[in-house]
Amino acid sequence: MLANYGYIGLFLIVAIFFAVSTLLLPVFLRFIGIVPHKPNPVKNSTYECGMETVGKSWVQFNFRYYFYALLFIALDILVVFLYPWAVNLRQIGSFGFISILIFISIIVVGYIYAWRKKVLEWK
């Protein structure tokens, strides 16, 4: 099994190498003179359909994103627990099924609460 993860790790190196070398190809071609490189202040300014940018864009984000992130954490942990259970359901039988039903219903109560509190609305 460990050998299989070796394949994955080696493949990761190849994938990174592939992506980086693809990006370095134009840099190499620039030195030969095939790819142009003529920067100027207007070309390098932030693109905003011809307007000049007002203010910064690295700002704090709207709060509504965080509600989704919080709900995501609760439900994602549920999903992580469900995977090993799903593999072994035939062995552990109905006892395992009922206990996971109780677990799901606890999370679902929180989900329904969030729905009723209108957290799921995009406002």
Query: Which residues would be at the binding site for another protein (CB under 8 A)?
Result: 1, 3-8, 10-12, 14-16, 18-20, 22-23, 25-27, 29-30, 34-39, 41, 43-49, 53, 57-58, 61, 65, 68-69, 71-72, 75-76, 79, 82-83, 86-87, 89-90, 93-94, 97, 100-101, 104, 108, 111, 115, 120-123
Minimal distance in Å, beta carbon 66 to another protein? 10
Minimal distance in Å, beta carbon 113 to another protein? 13
Q: Helix or strand or coil: residue 23? A: helix
Minimal distance in Å, beta carbon 18 to another protein? 7
> Is the CB of 25 or the CB of 113 nearer to another protein?
25
Q: Measure the CA–CA gap between 107 and 105, rounded to whole angstroms.
A: 5
Minimal distance in Å, beta carbon 60 to another protein? 11
The sign of the torsion formed by the CA atoms of 90, 92, 93, 94 equals negative
Q: Which residue, among 66, 63, 78, 65, has the nearest Cα to 108 in the 3D structure?
A: 78
Q: What is the DSSP letter of 53?
A: P
Q: Measure the CA–CA gap between 23 and 26, rounded to whole angstroms.
A: 7
